[in-house]
Structure 1
């Protein structure tokens, strides 16, 4: 959940950037002169791997804004992401806000000031006297906008998976007095000895929201992108640095607080920004701390050593989620129909599924603010774009991007209960339904030549029944049934056994 500038440090420089317009796309593809190449796919349907649980998004900032929109607008957004005719997502990550002091001048980015659930009665010094066991120190009317999404998702999904996560402790538990971090991005911001109080705060919120919204938080993630230098007091979003030792202490305290309340929620950790920092965190945890983790979370803002994280999940027998990612190509102007970013995004998803073999893939913010202002180009982050500063927008303000349709190629067809299966082609990912009757292949062709795909005999016994394409002209559209991946496209092939 780092800022865009910080995240771009993890992106490799791109030698070629293609404008997103259809005319430019047509000219680019025409360079291939209609040629095609054969590609053989060797799919090990006899060796199914991770059981996939689904796709989703963090709610966080966009939900803190859009949950207060008029019904027609917010219901339309919920349908786009969680509806049966939308992306069919089943996962949501709810952001438990820290919350700055009431007298702090506003400085966080649009939607970023997620309210905390604490209350400070008159005459109370919160830094020394706030107590989780005092009912007078809680405000259960807080964060109504993001909480609207909990109910909206529950109404649309039969068995939703909810995770609660934290970006920062409340201001009165911090060193700096701000939820955006310590003075330096390499200093821990939770005050010494406050792990128990912070864990009690998080566990109490989980307990209360479960009861009030009739949902279950399967996991609680108490730290986010912890071992980075992203989080400092002058930043414009919530965040906190945690050294590995402080991470371990917080994981221990969170596990104890959840159990003290009799909750079945387990700790997810460390929600690190990339795999190589995840490995550093994990190596520093004591064995007892590792044993308290019920789910491993990693982000994919950087893909070095992803198989190392996969190996830890396998060896420890702990479920692994890719719990946050978004991206945009550098220097591409903000365009809802930009196919270059959609292709790069789809390639990234394929890579994550192949290297991490996670049980879930979770987007960062499904809705991003339209960022082109004053002649500046803006960015293609987000899969839906809106002006999040606008008052009471209607459904016509929702702008669906090409990335949304690229996501549809995955989430509409690789469904919960499917199992990821090995495939030798680096641009393909494959999944098998639980009964083995359906085989889904998603293939990303970023080049200018068509690809004629064939299955090696070992994966025989399946016949092609559907072909769904996203490119500069088609939006997850069913197309002629042929084993061809068109140039500059994301193509889903649905095969049936027999």
Structure 2
């Protein structure tokens, strides 16, 4: 009888081991691609309120976004974003209902007062978050404008009329002076200097519906603003770099398409000989920024347009690409809809696929999310909150933690290296390494329902998993075997 039991147990163990789906991940440290600059998100628009919430609430939210600390079990406390985007408001908040922006949460305050003086006590919630980010180790900061200040706009509003640019060229210098004043003023108020300034946002869209602050521009107008701002930054002896053009769709980097004079932006701004060339101006970052909206499905077309953009970028000396804004918008060819919150893995896996494709096909050096914190019933926030200005509940999402699979471990200065996975067609792999260090970071996205086992070949290895029941949780690696759970994102950190 004992022999029979032993035999049965042996057979069960043998079958289990045989059934294990093992995968092999191969990295090629000698084959390098882009250097990573940062992973980021923005304070728009909830930052103005949550930054004033009770201390325990706002600190907990800041920890989720910025902390690089670990919990008792070795799991990350937060996702350790490496850059924070600060919304420099145009003043629609002070205008109230007369601003024409229906939703109070989408209005933004301005440091500029009607008499032309500045009040650096404005935007206190956002300034608190800025400091909270720095205190938790964030070292890069960017200020962005959705609209020029309402004092300088053609219609006196923070959104446009009839799809026309809302600032006249005679006001470019005034707008530039405002930007330099804000850079200095924020540094005075917080001790934090903006590394980058983004003066225009999604210039292809009309911004005429009063949904939020916004202003359209064509390439000639953007070029004029950049030339003015470059001079203003030089006069003020500011090292802040200008980031452009935050295109509303990645295809506008390649061609005019349906927006004459607003596309072909790689060549328009960075190809010498172009009438709107600004690539050699002092203070202009050798980076072109685009948004990944409406271009991520189906996967075949997502890859095609990103391949074309990568080739265009590579053709221009010393030019890099940032994906500077994304959340799940639209119906994405039926794959996933932006409507309704999803704090689980369906939305998170979609985001993971987008991040993987942007990083490995478009070769982006930075990947940045839109609303860090959202009060809406939509897939636009890494953290979801009650729409309550004085305090309320908050909830993390798996989108937050999946982004953390990258941001917490793939740090600025690392380079992406070649990697491939064998034995799993439903898995996506990318790898990163800092040239002077002996550490490799591997991010494996398992889109399928299979469980895989990865035998570590390195001397030391740690694994962190985001899955249905895990939030970037440290996995206890046994017998040098990493378990790749179904529908999960796993980060593996190895040392040579």
TM interval, short-chain normalised: 0.7 to 0.9
Cα distance in 1, alignment partners of residues 110 and 51 from structure 2:
16
Provide the C-alpha distance between the structure 1 equivalents of 2:339 and 2:187, rounded to a whole number of angstroms: 42
**Preserved contact between residue 402 and residue 489 of structure 2 (Cα < 8 Å):** yes
TM-score, normalised to structure 1's length?
0.80
Separation in structure 2 between the aligned mates of residue 153 and residue 143 of structure 1, nearest angstrom: 16
CA displacement at 1:92 relative to structure 2: 0.7
- Is contact 2:402–2:472 with CA below 8 Å preserved after alignment? yes
Question: Aligned partners of 1:92 and 1:282: how far apart in 2?
Answer: 25
8 Å Cα contact 1:221-1:268 kept in structure 2: yes
* TM-score, length of structure 2 as denominator length: 0.80
Quick one: structure 1 residues 299 and 332, their matched pair in 2 at CA, closer, same or farther if it must change by over 3 Å? Answer: closer
- Give runs of aligned pairs for residues 407-486 of structure 1, distance below 5 A: 407-424=403-420, 427-453=428-454, 462-463=458-459, 465-481=461-477, 482-486=481-485
Residue of structure 1 equivalent to 2:493 = 494
Query: Which has the higher Rg, Structure 1 or Structure 2?
Result: 2
Aligned pair partner of 1:118 in 112, 116, 120: 112
Q: Check if 1:398 corresponds to 2:394.
A: yes
> In the alignment, which residue of structure 2 is the partner of 1:252?
227
| Equivalent position to 1:164, from 143, 146, 164 | 143
> Are 1:143 and 2:150 an aligned pair?
no
Matched with 2:103 is 109
**Equivalences for 1:19-168 in 2 at 5 Å?**
39-85=23-69, 86-100=78-92, 102=95, 105=98, 107-121=101-115, 136-157=116-137, 160-168=139-147
- Matched residues in 1 for 2:194 and 2:184: separation? 9
Instruction: Give the length in aligned residue pairs.
Output: 429
Are 2:279 and 1:290 aligned?
A: yes
Secondary structure, in 3 states, of the residue corresponding to 1:430?
strand
Listed one character per residue, the Cα deviations across residues 131-169 of structure 1 (whole Å, up to 9, x for unaligned) are xxxxx5323322111111121122221x61011111001
Q: In structure 1, how many angstroms separate the alpha carbons of the residues matched to 2:338 and 2:150?
A: 36
Does the C-alpha gap of structure 1 residues 90 and 489 become closer, same or farther in structure 2, counting only changes over 3 Å? same
Q: How does 1:271-310 map to 2 (within 5 A)?
A: 271-279=246-254, 280-285=264-269, 286=274, 288-292=277-281, 293-294=284-285, 295-301=287-293, 302-303=295-296, 304=302, 305-310=305-310
Aligned 8 A contact 1:110 1:388 in 2 = no
CA distance in 2, matches of 1:331, 1:275: 19
The residue aligned with 2:258 is none
2:341 paired residue among 324, 334, 344 = 334
CA distance in 1, matches of 2:359, 2:349: 16
Distance 2:484 2:371 in 1: 29
Match of 1:204 among 181, 185, 196: 181
Unaligned stretches of 5+ residues in structure 1: 1-33, 122-135, 372-377, 456-460
Higher relative contact order (CA 8 A, sep 6+): 1
CA distance in 2, matches of 1:468, 1:110: 39
- Structure 1 residues 430-457: Cα deviation after superposition (integer angstroms, max 9, x where no partner): 11134341111111111122345579xx
Residue 184 (1) aligns with residue 162 (2): yes
Q: Please, which runs of 5 or more residues in structure 2 have no aligned partner?
A: 1-17, 70-77, 255-263, 297-301, 330-335, 422-426
Distance 2:338 2:165 in 1: 34
Secondary structure (helix, strand or coil) at the match of 2:401 reads helix
The 8 Å contact of residues 439 and 462 in structure 1, kept in 2 or not, is answered as no
Measured on the aligned residues, the alpha-carbon RMSD in Å equals 2.5
